[in-house]
Amino acid sequence: MSTEEGRVAPYAATEPANTTTIGETTPATGAEQPVLRRRVLGLAWPVIGENLLETLLGIVDTLLVAGLGAAAIAGVGSGLQVMFFVLAALAALSIGSSVLVAQSYGAKDLRHAGELGRQSLLWSLILSMPLAIAGLLLAGPIIRLFGVEPEVARIGADYLRVSMGTVVVLVALFIGGGVLRGAGDSRTPMVVTAIANVINVVLAYGLIYGHLGMPRLGAVGSAWGTFLARAFALALLVRALWIGRNGVRVGGARIAAWRPDLRVADRILRLGIPSALEQILISAAFFALTVIVARLGTETLAAQRISFTALSFSFLPGIGFAIAATALVGQSVGARRILEGAAAARIATWWAVIWMGAIAVLLILLANPIMHLFTDDPDVVRIGAAGLRTVALQQPFWGVMFVQAGATRGTGDTRFPLIVTGGGVWASVLLALLLLQTVGGGLVSVWAAFLITSPLMAALHWRHFHHRVTLLRAAEHEPKLAPQGL
């Protein structure tokens, strides 16, 4: 049962009284369903809120910089586009820590879960150092790849240099959040993200324009404001981990316990790298899609960017329930009660489908008003509204795909989601190109390609997770039958 909203106790703590055999696995009973539902919602809603707040962080930076003129907006926008790519990969690396901590937490091995959290933070520092150095050295050349004007390139490079140079804080923030979610606490990461947002608004405003007694740094002030806000959030996160959440703590250990352990790094990276590669493939595919759409004209490109913004918000429920499924399935694997994890994944899937289905209805009914929020150009509104309605039809399938992929990651398998989701999105891009060259159709054909592939991806993820459940059920009684990834 939840110790408090957003913090979830181990599966073993709710073991039925009639369970007498260690490792015995039974389906969730009707009485246990409300408990599982609270677990799912208790983990999912803070993740949805956290991702929404993280999205707003970039929007606030753009709005504050807007007062400096078009060159500042374009420069910061170029830097943010690179950072979104980096953020996707770095956030995925936290999957490894989250899954391993969740499995130890479910097994009630809280000491080992704390050790994993400690090593995760340590390795986040070690692994992010080269990335920070590369960012400092390559910020200018990366921005110049966009082919922007010299003033825009200068602003973008300055922004990216600060953002990448301080990436150590960002990596630790992601990894620390993954550790807490693995231990059943998704509320703390959301709270510290909310605090970071408030601090970011004050610091960015002051540092950009020289208000509140701060130096005037121009557009790069937004990067420094974001860094300082995230650094404070990291301090709060580390404090929470040091004190402990749900019995998992990184503090109180001997100095020797902070020595890097290559075996732990190997386990974390074996799970995290495929997830990071998956996000890189997806980001690269959507970049390629933008290049394809740009050939259709300025109005279509503008409509595609607006529809993609709406799409990014519609993904939030699916991502939230997917992360909840990862943590809860991981805990059930550790507790050797995989059927409870499967039941939690099923509940999470239904909730994701309900939420994203509701969003689909809104997109269909309000496509024109949504487009009018961004532009008054009738051609852009017409093209974008048609694209939004096509996107809406895919929402339930994406809900299934997100959560079932997240559940699979919870079992310790991050390679299958990499293959199916990464490969599936690229197949959609290639199919979109084929449709445009054969039947035309503009933006509708582009999103129709995803409508063709998304049901297949959802079905493959569903089938694979249930195959993993079958293998894990057998392994609960015969450990030698455990699937790879555990």
Domain-by-domain residue ranges, the chain?
A: 1-9+42-260, 272-486
| pLDDT tens digits, one per residue of 426-447 | 999 999 999 999 988 888 999 9
- Does pTM surpass 0.85? no
Least confident of 22-26, 44-48, 447-451: 22-26
Among 485, 460, 462, 461, smallest CA distance to 475 is for 485
Contact between residue 160 and residue 142 where contact means Cβ atoms under 8 Å apart: yes
More confident residue, 295 or 12: 295
**Between these two residues, 20 and 192, which has the higher pLDDT value?**
192
Please say whether the beta carbons of 218 and 212 come within 8 A. no
pLDDT above 70: residue 246: yes
Tell whether the model's pLDDT for residue 304 goes beyond 50: yes
Q: What is the 3-state secondary structure (H, E, C) of 110-149?
A: HHHHHHHHHHHHHHHHHHHHHHHHHHHHHHHHHHHCCCCC
Is residue 104 within 8 A of residue 116, CB to CB? The reply is: yes
- Cα–Cα dist 303/36, whole Å: 41
Write out pLDDT tens, residues 134-178. Answer: 888 988 898 887 777 888 889 889 999 998 888 889 888 888 988
Question: 440-467: string of b/e by CB count within 10 Å (b at 16+)?
Answer: ebbbbbbbbbbbebbeebbebbbebbbe
pLDDT at 279: 86
303 Cβ neighbours under 8 A, 6+ residues apart: 371, 380, 381, 383, 384, 387, 443
What pLDDT does 16 receive?
A: 34
DSSP string, 386-420: HHHHHHHTTHHHHHHHHHHHHHHHHTT--HHHIII
305: CB partners within 8 A, 6+ apart:
290
Measured over the CA atoms of residue 55, residue 61, residue 63 and residue 66, the dihedral's sign is negative
Neighbours of 224 (CB within 10 A): 20
- For helices 442-477 and 423-438, the axis angle rounded to 10 degrees is 160
Q: Which range among 81-95, 98-112, 171-185, 417-431 has the greatest average pLDDT?
A: 417-431
Pull the structure tokens for residue 469.
């459940």
Round to whole Å and give the CA distance between 303 and 241.
Answer: 44
Question: Of all residues in the chain, what percent carry a pLDDT higher than 90?
Answer: 34
Q: CA 464, 469, 471, 475 torsion: positive or negative? A: positive
- Pick the residue with more confidence: 464 or 12? 464
Take residue 256 and report the two structure tokens written for it: 């020797």
